[in-house]
Structure 1
Amino acid sequence: MSVLSGKIWLEKLRRRWVFTAIVGNVLLALSLAVVTFALLRLRYSEALVGSLFVLAISLVVLFILSKRWQPAMHKITSFVDVTMPEVENSASLLLADPSLLSSLQRLQRERVNSILVQHKLPNEPFRQLRLPMLVLGISMLILVLLPRLAPDSTVAEASSMVSPQQADVVKEVVPVTISDYSISINPPAYTGKKTRQQAQFTLRVELGAAVSWKLETTKSINDLRFLWNDKETYTLRKLDASGQRWGFNKVLTKPGFYQVIIDGKKSDFYQVEIIPDQPVAIKIINPEQHSTIDFGQPQRVDLKVLLTDDYGISDAVIHATTASGKGEAVSFKTHKLNFSTAIKNQRSLDLRKQLGLAGLGMKAGDELYFFINATDNHGQQSRSDMYFVSIQDTAALMSMAGIDNGVNLVPEYFRSQRQIIIDTEKLLRERSTISDADFKKRSNELGIDQKMLRLRYGKFLGEEEETQIGGRGEGEEGHSADDGHDHGAQAEKPAYGDVQAIMDQYAHKHDQAEDATFFEPQLKAQLKATLNEMWSAELQLRTYDPQKALPFEYKALRLLKDLQQKSRAYVAKTVVKTTPLKAEKRLTGELAEIQLAAAVNKHLGNKDQSGDLRTSLSLLEGRKSGQAGNPADLTILRTTEQALVAAAAASPAKYLPALKAMKTVTRMWTSRSDISSEASIAERGINSLIGAAQAKPYKSGGSATELSKTYFNQLNRTSR
């Protein structure tokens, strides 16, 4: 059999590897393009162009960086040697020059050739397509599920703008005279939305949207108007001389409702809902609102802020104020800092900035106050809370000033923490002049001093053993004669069967740590935090590393001094904006627009309509029970109707159904028709309008007065 057949078999196997490698690269590039298309279509309509560009770039990169699509023949022979043991690692002989082979190698070459020719091409190359196909399946799943997970995307909005059928269709009654109508909604520029069309009178538009109505009637009419909020009338303009095409334009800034009046005949109520533009939501993730930079920590603040807005963010600025000095010599300096991230009308921003306190001119003892001010593309500004960062002043901690006249919340011997810091710093300065054994001895002794201070501190929280702190004591566990408890020299033998007496004989009861009542809960929490810092300092001193113990020692001292007194409270500056005075009206003595307080109170008192609303509820209940409607009650019902008109103008979604029902009830009040369903709807709106009744003070009855008189008379008799 010719050796050429074996070479052809190897070449076919190499081509199979090349084919699967090319297909794998195409599948990976296609997966990346699909994911890109799924993400881009959430914000942009030309997502297909971007995804095709990504497909082309990824194909070029994959074919340049990947070497799988051009495998060498020696790799193919190595694969055959590994997967086919019968060739005995001799597949490479088929590629060698026959003149350079020995007789034994030629025989082996013929044997390998006959084996390969009889063997089918392996399917191993196709297995490398499993991963690209899995990636493509995941990308297709993202393409299908992402629009459902993000229903407020720009693409969904754009499609709803173009296709009115995709918008929420509200069932409404349209006058039969109107044959066709269309409403064009042009959102304001800050929303970034396109003009959309709809075929329903009920509106849900953005704040400041320009709305255009176009109506066609079945016949020529003389007058076509809109009645807005049951009080404002707008006349529509004729679009041609036939009197059948009418138009109207209006910029909507307030919610409400309207009706179409065709030659004096009113239509049903149509709701108008306004989508307000929310200000930028600011969330400061890092740092905490009150933070302190202790000794040994880097003097910087890693600021992390999350901004979100419904339409887009145009600007975000950090307003920082540094305070230095004490008492009346405090000086303030303001800074306006920008973020390094470019802000281009994004809806969500994750901003980070590192504030170098030294670059702001701060030193030990100074404080930083800052807040974030963000502006959306509509010009609305929002401001975060004030955040405080202070740099701990070690010199002030070591100072004795203020101890004699400060608020003494902790015992005197707690101030020995200052001496431990002094001794630790002295040990570090003398490190190079003393022996290693002496250094470790003095460090361990400082750890013992820290331990004694910590144990004294723990007694104020009811912790009498080290087991409460994080480890057991060095001595024997249990009690001794001088532990401060009355153990009793000899206990009497408990009575037979007295379980409590037997337990008291062997049990030693102490107060629990949480039952200690020396301090308030907030103070106790800070004392516990001090205990943790002392424990950490002791750990470093006992392991002969006083340099690492210093930050814990300073923080423990700071917590103790915070218990004694508070250094300074920051109050933001406020400016009272008064109404500007008009120079031409000063000193004229004109009092025409000034009303008396009595007249104002009388005017306000007339606005209380809760009595009429409750009366209307009782009238509606009587009408539902079968009573006949009295024409004299229509005055109260119309007053309630006007109250519902005002409420529906402010909140149409909540009160417009009740207003419709109330108008039906008023119109059919004196008839014998069944209006129970309309009355129930009106009652729900009236109850919502009344709200929860507030409790009012009332005068107590006479029983308590009689009792007090009897008690007083009895006292007089006793005194006599």
Structure 2
Amino acid sequence: MSKTEGQIWIHRLRKKWITLYLLRLLAVSLAMALVISALLVHVLHLAAWYFVIVLAIILIILLVAKPIWKSSDSDFSRFINHQYPELEESADLLLQHPEGLSMLQKLQLAKIEKVIHTINPEKEPLRKLYIGLAILLAGLLISFGITKIPQIHKAHQVASANQNPVPIIKEKVPAEVSAFDVTIIPPAYTGKPERKQKQFTIKAETGARVIWQFDTNISLKTMKIIFNDKETIVLKPQNREATKWTFAKTIEKSGFYQLEIDGRRSDLYQMEVIPDLPVNIKIIQPKQRTTIDIGQPQKFNLKLNLSDDYGINDAFISATMASGKGEGVSFTEKKLSFNTSFNNQKHIALGKEIDLKSLGMKPGDELYFFIKAMDNHGQSSRSDVYFVSIVDTTELMSMAGMTNGVNLVPEYFRSERQIIIDTEKLLKEQSGLSAEAFKTRSNELGIDQKLLRLRYGQFLGEENETEIGGDHDDHDEHAEHAAEPEKFGDVTAIMDKYAHKHDIAEDATFFEPEMKAQLKAVLTEMWNAELRLRTYKPQEALPYEYKALRLLKDLQQKSRAYVAKTTVKTASLKPEKRLSGELDKIMQPVQKMLAERKEQRMVQLKASLALLESRKSGKKFTEGDRFLLSDTEKYMIGAAADNPTTYLNALTSLRRLSGNTRLQVSDIDIAQKAIQKMIKGETASPQIQSALPASALYQNYFNNLNKAGR
């Protein structure tokens, strides 16, 4: 080998490595750019030229991250020393002149010059290049899949529409119309795509843009669209031959329309609007009225579900805190957020823990809150108001109101208060008492709670503990019955001898069911307090004692009746107008006129119903009959404009009956069913009687007085 062969070998090898590395880098960059650009174009709907920018950015980042093209031959010699062990860390000798080498270096140079012919240095970079090409292939497949996402989404929407298809109504297309298209463009906030149909019947979202396009087989003079028999739109031809017509309209409410071609009207076509409903709010937790008793954490968890037909934009909690009493009450309003992003989701479950202490609430305060939510169209809705209150121990332990109103066993009420005082006293003195003394006092409090519970149980008809399970030998009524002589044939006396009759416990009270249920709740809380006092846990018994006291005090308040004093301000009477009998200034109320119109409408509908029934035999309508049907048609037009699904076919049938000489029984049946629905839809409202039965006699009397005075 000449002295420059080693240098040429390393120089060529470095160029091959750099070239293969750049090719691999380009393949990886293309794969990443294809995937990112596909997302930008087909998901975010950006322009396709963004691919060039993305590719350039990725290439620059990768080239800067590992600048292999800046490496020199000496750098590459160190690299191949680590890459190929057979070179024995001596590749740098190939770059040096033999004259400057020592004897050992010349021997090593001669050794590695023989080895380099057996090395295949291109194997490793080629393997990495194949990996880069595999990544490029995967990027192509992924980007191709992303391009199909809109088509898949559209196919899914079509499949959903096919699962709930709009019922196909058999329509009669005017003979002059050779082809037509109806394009429905929903509002952007709905997220629904534009759709076309070959059907005049329209079912569209509120605020949708509807475009009609007609092709006629002949040149027309005029073409009109009539909406709800009220609004008439004259169309302009789109070509000189007057065979292409188009019209666009934003639909806000349901109704019907028809075409008028050169004076001839088509059938009626239905327009149904899908309303955009506000957000539905369902609060799962807490209950509408929540009371936080003593010993419970002053916080609660709020859980709710929101749902909307197109998307939820925002929701928050509007909270109002009430503090103080009487004239010193103050209110503080706060807006609490859920700290979540809604992203126009249609369904979302929300939760939040509300700490009442952090809101500045203290015992005796109340919190009123409701949820307010907005959809992506700006509509807002709110829930019912919920109440959360913290029990005030100071108010609960006070004796205020004990001497006023009707009391339910106030001495027992004071006894429960005394048990609470003794329990708190025991807890304060616990550190200075022995374990035996503490248990004894706790057990004695449990006995007091038991006696109080039994005394309250008597108000629910419960028997004393001494009578439960006894054999009732001390019942005098049985001894009296035993001493009486038997009456022959008296079945009741015979039954009384062997039967043991008592009043039913549930019926042996004079309380209402609601008060009885609250008394049972009081007994439950007393039992829980007694259980913990008997097991030497007075700290755990205290919340149950306070809750029993609160329930008793609420029960006491319910037993009172309060009627507020009210004043009524009336207009002062004019003395000169009294007893004059002048009635000429008194006018009839408007409500009577409206009632008369409704009554007239009802009479005409019933008359039309009877007329149609009489014409089922085939008898033709007279001119008077057609006049009655025309009035009925006016009423049905209004009903069809409000509810085209129910009344549009009936309106078409009624018009055929009015115009044709040959009657169809099917048209009569359809019209009759619709008229019956219109009659049933008129809800009867109570009316004030305008006059007494003998009002005519009174009217004549006052008229005669008026004449005599003149």
Pairwise same-fold verdict (TM > 0.5) = yes
Structure 1: distance between partners of 2:432 and 2:495: 59
Q: Indicate the larger mover: 165-174 or 655-664.
A: 165-174
Question: Which amino acid in 1 is paired with 2:521?
Answer: A
Match of 1:491 in 2: 482
Q: Displacement, 1:701?
A: 12
Q: 1:417 maps to what in 2? A: 416
Query: Residue 368 of structure 1 aligns to which amino acid in structure 2?
Result: L
Does the residue aligned with 2:479 lie in a helix, a strand or coil?
coil
In structure 2, the partner of 1:226 is: 225
1:509 match? 501
Is 1:479 aligned with 2:468?
Answer: no
Counterpart of 1:464 in structure 2: which amino acid? E
Q: TM-score, normalised by structure 2?
A: 0.68
Indicate how the Cα distance of structure 1 residues 496 and 348 shifts in structure 2: closer, same or farther if over 3 A, else same.
same
Q: Which moves more between the two structures, 409-418 or 314-323?
A: 409-418
Shift, 1:260, TM fit? 1.2
The total of aligned residue pairs comes to 515
* Whole-Å separation in 1 of the counterparts to 2:153 and 2:507: 59
Is 1:677 the counterpart of 2:685 in the alignment? no
Question: Over residues 428-477 of structure 1, what are the superposed CA-to-partner deviations in whole Å (9 max), with x where a residue is unaligned?
Answer: 111121222221111111111111111111111111145xxxxxx79863
> 1:381 & 1:157 partners in 2: Cα distance?
30
Q: What corresponds to 1:58 in structure 2?
A: none
Report the residue type matching 2:601 in the other structure: Q
Deviations 1:115-140 (A, max 9, x none): xxxxxxxxxxxxxxxxxxxxxxxxxx
- Computing the radius of gyration over CA atoms, which structure comes out larger, 1 or 2? 2
Distance (Å, rounded) in 1 between the aligned partners of 2:207 and 2:530: 66
Contact 1:255 1:273 in 2 (8 A): yes
For the residues of structure 2 that align with 1:161 and 1:523, how far apart are their CA atoms? 54
Displacement of 1:162 = 9.9
Deviations 1:687-720 (A, max 9, x none): 1112267498999999xxxxxxxxxxxxxxxxxx
Q: Tell me the equivalent position of 2:553.
A: 561
- Return closer, same or farther for 1:601/1:167 CA change in 2, 3 Å cut-off: closer
Q: Is the 8 A contact 1:162 1:196 kept in 2?
A: no
Go from structure 1 to structure 2 and tell me whether the alpha carbon gap of 1:184 and 1:643 turns closer, same or farther (over 3 Å shift): same
**Against the structure 1 CA distance between its residues 499 and 435, is the aligned structure 2 distance closer, same or farther, given a 3 Å change threshold?**
farther
Give, in whole Å, the separation in 2 of the partners of 1:168 and 1:237. 32
What is aligned with 1:551?
A: 543
Structure 1 residue 432 corresponds to structure 2 residue 431? yes
Q: Does 1:311 align with 2:310?
A: yes
For 2:49, the equivalent position in structure 1 comes to: none
2:58 maps to none
TM-score (norm 1): 0.67
**Distance 1:308-1:662 versus aligned 2 partners, 3 A rule:** same
Quick one: distance in 2 between partners of 1:696 and 1:216?
A: 55
SS at structure 1 position matched to 2:352 = strand
* Map of 1:273 onto structure 2: 272
Letter of the 1:389 partner, please give it.
V
Partner amino acid, structure 2, of 1:444: N
1: distance between equivalents of 2:612 and 2:481? Answer: 86
The aligned runs of 1:332-347 (5 Å cut-off) are 332-347=331-346
Task: State how far apart, in whole Å, the 2-side matches of 1:511 and 1:402 are.
Answer: 34
Retained in 2: the 8 A contact 1:662–1:682? yes
Which of residues 642, 645, 650 in structure 2 aligns to 1:650? 642
State the 1:521 CA deviation.
1.1
Contact 1:301 1:356 in 2 (8 A): yes
CA RMSD of superposed structures (Å): 3.2
Q: Rate the CA distance shift 1:340–1:155 in 2: closer, same or farther, 3 A.
A: farther
Separation in 1 of the partners of 2:478 and 2:616? Answer: 82
Preserved CA contact (<8 Å) 1:420 1:449:
yes
Query: Conserved in 2, the CA contact under 8 Å of 1:161 and 1:196?
Result: no
Q: Which runs of 5+ in 2 are unaligned?
A: 1-42, 46-151, 561-586, 695-710
CA contact (8 A) 1:164 1:199 kept: no
- Output the amino acid matched with 1:222: K
Q: Given the superposition, is the C-alpha separation of residues 199 and 160 from structure 1 closer, same or farther in structure 2, using an over 3 Å criterion?
A: farther
- For the pair 1:638 / 2:627, whether they are aligned, the reply is no
What's the CA shift for 1:164?
13
1:161/1:199 CA distance change after superposition, 3 Å: farther
* 1:300 CA drift (Å): 0.3
Aligned-partner Cα distance in 1 for 2:288–2:165: 46
Does the residue aligned with 1:397 lie in a helix, a strand or coil?
A: helix
Paired residue secondary structure (1:460)? helix
In the alignment, is residue 181 of structure 1 matched against residue 170 of structure 2? no
Structure 1: runs of 5 or more not aligned: 1-43, 47-152, 467-472, 569-595, 703-720
Q: Deviations over 1:130-167 (max 9, x none)?
A: xxxxxxxxxxxxxxxxxxxxxxx976773269999975
Q: Calculate percent identity across the aligned residue pairs.
A: 53
CA distance in 2, matches of 1:223, 1:676: 35
Cα gap change, 1:600/1:528 in structure 2, threshold over 3 Å: closer, same or farther?
closer
Question: CA, structure 1 residues 166+508, in 2 after alignment: closer, same or farther (shift >3 Å)?
Answer: closer
Counterpart residue identity of residue 237, structure 2 = K
Does the 8 Å contact 1:164/1:197 carry over to 2?
Answer: no
Contact 1:203 1:273 in 2 (8 A): yes
Work out the CA distance in 2 between the residues paired with 1:531 and 1:411: 16
